[in-house]
Amino acid sequence: MDRRKFLQLSGAGLGVSMLPLSGNLVAESKLTQSGIDLSVKKEFADVALNTATKLGATYADVRIGRYLNQYVITREMKVQDVVNTESIGMGIRVIANGTWGFAATNDLTADGVARATRQAVATAKANSKYQQEPVQLAPVKGHGEVSWQTPIQKNAMQIPLADKVDLLMDVNKSAMDAGASYINSMLYLVNEQKYFASTDGSYIDQDVHRLWAPFSVTAVDKKTGGFRTRQGLSQPVGRGFEYLDGRAEDKIQAQTVLYRDSYDMAEDARLAAQQAKEKLTAKSVKPGKYDLVLDPSHLWLTIHESVGHPLELDRVLGYEANFAGTSFATIDKWRSGKFQYGSDKVNLFADKVQPGSLGAVGYDDEGVKTRNWDLVKDGVLVNYQATRDQVHMLGQKKSHGCCYADSWSSVQFQRMSNVSLLPGKEELSVDDMIKDVEKGIYIVGAGSFSIDQQRYNFQFGGQLFYEIEDGKITGMVEDVAYQSNTQEFWNACSQVCDKDDYRLGGSFFDGKGQPMQTSAVSHGSSTARFDGINVINTKRKLG
């Protein structure tokens, strides 16, 4: 049983969010128990691989997964929901007659595994009737028996629920004490225990941990009928519970406190309450062209939408045309070797290895050892993100390692890697950057986002907006959104701060595919400046 459910949260006012949730609902104690024994996993994997080979498959890979989730959902001084899930099963993917076939089962017995394998081979053979080009896999040398674990200090699944509830109640109290009208806060914890084996000779055991602690504070002015929200500045991370330690050395004192490798949720909630109230009376922005100074807590989303997605090779080729869309970054532009994606200050790289990032794993879901590679070098488009069966279309021989499935029951496919902006080479602080801006806006935190299906035209909001006049921040402004075109925007990048300012942001529930699968991915950057960007005023009055 692995039913995909959607937990609807309406408590957060109008920002209705749908959380993907799969697996059996289990007791908290299940989350701390160890998973399937390694030798048992190898035994089942061999049953699948041998059965597939005997039935004529030319390649097979098997993923045996135990997926644990814990969601803790609160508002003000109430716990609204605690959800613990566990999902265990196996997915088998084969190539037969040059065509992919996939099947999955939660019947983890030798018979169950063999039955699913037969289904996968039969599906491959049936689908081969409609196949126009046989699958070509980039070679991967078997890795033998290896393992990898997210480098965590405190396993979040092992922290007692009562401590998590206490933490969120402290967070909510600090917001309410600071004058918030409402606060919704959550903890999302994920542990993927994944075992991968393939006919290439790999047996890979991985233990992947992710965590996200978002909140939304609302301030209401009953007299005017106005209200404003400020969301938390925490980032989803590939770290343990230590991320919530909020160490002093990880704090950056700016217009608000910004966070590096750990996060002080209660402090941010207090500041959020103060700022939500400040937003109620902040000046409404005058529309026009501004130089934007974008903090990494904001810029990650712009990178995600305008670089990460358009450089996914399956989108470029048209495989996602009916859902996510295609891409402006077509093969001919890449092949020219001259497509100026951004200014010469812009270096964007993909990776699956940055410590603390959501995308970091030892090996992807088709057994490729992870690495990093350039996407945009000195402003020029140089590569895409691709899987083993795609890189040959680029004339490349090595997969980028971008294959991922969100469950043992989902078929793996190309997903975004971490995509990040390289810090500037020259020493440059945020203060120094702002000093040179005559008319600008400094934006912190991610807000509303929308981009077209080929990733040209976008519009982004944010959480906090500060007007810059003649090199100085003069105060908060509201009703800000900026619109641009991807290529124009990245070519307007005039400065990127140095590596001391480099921080990761990320998306915990990125959706793609039909049926839809979620994945989590990080985007790093230092604060960057973009000149002459069109800012609109979003204030409207209803009758």
Q: Which of residues 266-305 bind other proteins (CB under 8 A)?
A: none
Residues 433-462 that bind other proteins (CB under 8 A): 448-457, 459, 461
From 23-31, 38-46, 143-151, 340-348, span contacting other proteins (CB under 8 A)? 23-31
Cα four-point dihedral sign 526, 527, 531, 533? positive
In the list 34, 39, 224, 253, the residue contacting other proteins (rule: CB under 8 A) is: 224
CB of 362 to other proteins, least distance (A): 27
| Closer by beta carbon to other proteins, 38 or else 323 | 323
| Closer by beta carbon to other proteins, 10 or else 39 | 10
16 is a site residue for other proteins (CB under 8 A):
yes
Residues 459-478 that bind other proteins (CB under 8 A): 459, 461
479 is a site residue for other proteins (CB under 8 A):
yes
Decide: residue 27, CB within 10 A, 0-12 exposed, 13-18 middle, 19+ buried: exposed
Q: Per the structure block, which two tokens stand in for 221? A: 């002015």
Contact assessment for residue 212 and residue 239, using Cβ atoms and an 8 Å cutoff: no
From 195-203, 220-228, 253-261, 424-432, span contacting other proteins (CB under 8 A)? 220-228
What does R_g of the chain's alpha carbons equal in angstroms?
24
| Closer by beta carbon to other proteins, 70 or else 202 | 70
Residues 153-192 that bind other proteins (CB under 8 A): 161, 165, 181-182
Contact assessment for residue 372 and residue 347, using Cβ atoms and an 8 Å cutoff: no
| Closer by beta carbon to other proteins, 89 or else 524 | 89
98 is a site residue for other proteins (CB under 8 A):
no
Distances (CA, A) of 193 to 22, 91, 105, 226: 15, 14, 16, 47
| Closer by beta carbon to other proteins, 343 or else 538 | 538
In the list 44, 102, 203, 215, the residue contacting other proteins (rule: CB under 8 A) is: 102
Q: Per the structure block, which two tokens stand in for 269? A: 């909630």
Helix (H) or strand (E) holding 506: strand 503-512
Report strand pairing: 78-96 vs 99-105. antiparallel
In the list 132, 248, 253, 397, the residue contacting other proteins (rule: CB under 8 A) is: 132
In the list 213, 481, 504, 521, the residue contacting other proteins (rule: CB under 8 A) is: 481
From 15-23, 32-40, 245-253, 347-355, span contacting other proteins (CB under 8 A)? 15-23
Cα(413)–Cα(402) distance, rounded to whole angstroms? 8
Phi first, then psi: give them for residue 509, nearest 5 degrees: -130, 70
538 is a site residue for other proteins (CB under 8 A):
yes
411 is a site residue for other proteins (CB under 8 A):
yes
| Closer by beta carbon to other proteins, 81 or else 426 | 81
24 is a site residue for other proteins (CB under 8 A):
yes
| Size of residue set near other proteins by CB under 8 A | 80
Binding mask 314-353 for other proteins (x = CB under 8 A): ---xxxxxxx-xx-x-x-----------------------
Distances (CA, A) of 143 to 215, 341, 355, 359, 392: 42, 36, 22, 20, 22
149 is a site residue for other proteins (CB under 8 A):
no
From 124-132, 254-262, 333-341, 495-503, span contacting other proteins (CB under 8 A)? 124-132
Contact assessment for residue 538 and residue 479, using Cβ atoms and an 8 Å cutoff: yes
15 is a site residue for other proteins (CB under 8 A):
yes
**Residues 6 or more apart in contact with residue 378 via CB below 8 angstroms:** 344, 346, 347
| Closer by beta carbon to other proteins, 127 or else 274 | 127
In the list 191, 229, 383, 491, the residue contacting other proteins (rule: CB under 8 A) is: 229
Residue-by-residue DSSP string for 281-316: HSEEPPPEEEEEEE-HHHHHHHHIIIIITTTBHHHH
Q: Per the structure block, which two tokens stand in for 180? A: 């918030």
Contact assessment for residue 493 and residue 345, using Cβ atoms and an 8 Å cutoff: yes
In the list 32, 109, 131, 474, the residue contacting other proteins (rule: CB under 8 A) is: 131
393 is a site residue for other proteins (CB under 8 A):
no
CB of 142 to other proteins, least distance (A): 27
CB of 273 to other proteins, least distance (A): 14
Closest residue by Cα to residue 271 from 187, 215, 224, 220:
215
Contact assessment for residue 63 and residue 365, using Cβ atoms and an 8 Å cutoff: yes
Closest residue by Cα to residue 464 from 244, 183, 257:
257
Q: Scanning the structure block, which residue is given the tokens 């002093």? A: 248
